[in-house]
Amino acid sequence: MPRDDGFATGRVFVVPLLGGGFAFGYATAQLSPSVFVNIFDHVSDNDTLPSNLAELRVELYDLQIGGEFRIMDATREGDEWRWCDERVQAPIAPRNRYVQMGLPPRRIDVLGEEPDRPLTPEQAKGVPFLGFRFAPYTVALIEVALKRLDGTPKDLINSWRARPPSKASSATRRAGAKTKKDSPKPNAVHIEVRLRGKGLPTSSDLDLRHRLEAHIAKQKLGAIVDAGGGFGLMDVVVQTDAPDAIDRIRAMLDELGVPKSRAKITAIHR
């Protein structure tokens, strides 16, 4: 995920919610491919920043986001988030400034002030992975939390996608979103693997993903453009124009011992 040019520490942004209304948050750090953000406990009917922004309580800390400011397909991913000119005052550092990545795992300081350090398997259990879920999962997570909704973010996404787009949403897309006509994008394939646990990928899960990526590279199927994991799932997005990409990826997963019941492969047409 390319670095977002709008990022600045403490910069405030607006989040259009799937079910209507707007949430607000601010950025705390950036470590490619993730931007770390906090979300205020406030939902508004319009996208005007609340006058008491400095007094609002933070409901969600240290969320990792990726492409929410560069939505490609609003009908599938929701509307783009919008940066504002305002910034919050200190303190604005992440609550948890450490994430893990790599095999063997190492601890990374998202503020870049401390060197990387290796993690033992026991230490790694308490350190979140660097990575994010694909849009619109994070906005659904925010909406469920702020509106105190029953059900899961997945439930909200499924319900939202089953509804026809609203006039306001359509107007937003016409005004600002990229379309296939004016900004053609190559096809891609989204691979989603359900983990055995409900949390973040384990070292063995990441090893599986790396072996899948090695298969993709060896077969010259395409380029890995996104990867993430969390909430019991692991994702990989492959940019490819191969007409048999899904069948070939399914064969790779079979070879790696991933049953069909744990894997979902979806074509993305951008």
Per residue in 69-89, pLDDT (tens digit) is: 877 677 778 888 999 999 998
Distances (CA, A) of 257 to 211, 261, 263: 11, 11, 11
Greater pLDDT, 125 or 186: 125
Q: Which of 28, 25, 33 is nearest to 7 (CA)?
A: 28
36-45, 67-76, 113-122 — which is least confidently predicted?
Answer: 67-76
Q: Residue 121: pLDDT band by 50, 70, 90 thresholds? A: confident
The alpha carbons of the chain give a radius of gyration, in whole angstroms, of: 19
Q: What is the pLDDT of residue 13?
A: 95
CATH 3.90.1150.10 fits 188-268, yes or no: no
For the stretch 68-102, what's the b/e string if a residue is b when 16 or more beta carbons lie within 10 angstroms of its beta carbon?
A: bbbbbbbebbbbbbbbbeeebeeeeebeebbbbeb
pLDDT at 176 over 50: no
Q: Residue 67: pLDDT band by 50, 70, 90 thresholds? A: confident
Yes or no: say if 43 and 146 are a contact pair by the CB < 8 Å rule: yes
How are beta strands 263-268 and 117-118 bridged, if at all? unpaired
Mean pLDDT, rounded, of the chain: 82
Sign of the C-alpha dihedral computed for residues 154, 159, 162 and 168 taken in this order: negative
Q: Residue 173: pLDDT band by 50, 70, 90 thresholds? A: very low
Q: How many residues does the chain have?
A: 270
What are the structure tokens assigned to 68, written together? 């929410």
What mean pLDDT is predicted for residues 31-60?
Answer: 90
Backbone angles phi, psi at 68, to 5 degrees: -65, -20
Residue 21 CA to residue 165 CA, distance in Å, equals 15
Residue 16 CA to residue 236 CA, distance in Å, equals 25
Distance of CA 223 to the CA centre of its chain: 18
Domain boundaries, the chain: 11-172, 188-268
- Where helices occur in the chain by DSSP H, the ranges are 74-77, 121-124, 137-146, 153-162, 167-176, 203-218, 245-255
**Torsion of the alpha carbons at 40, 45, 49 and 50, rounded to the nearest 10:** -70
**What's the pLDDT tens digit per position in 144-166?**
999 999 889 988 998 888 876 55
Yes or no: say if 51 and 45 are a contact pair by the CB < 8 Å rule: no
- Residue 160 burial by CB count (10 A; 0-12/13-18/19+): exposed, middle or buried? middle
pTM of the model: 0.63
Residue 124 CA to residue 203 CA, distance in Å, equals 9
Q: What is the pLDDT of residue 270?
A: 53
Within 8 A by CB and 6+ apart from 151, the residues are 144
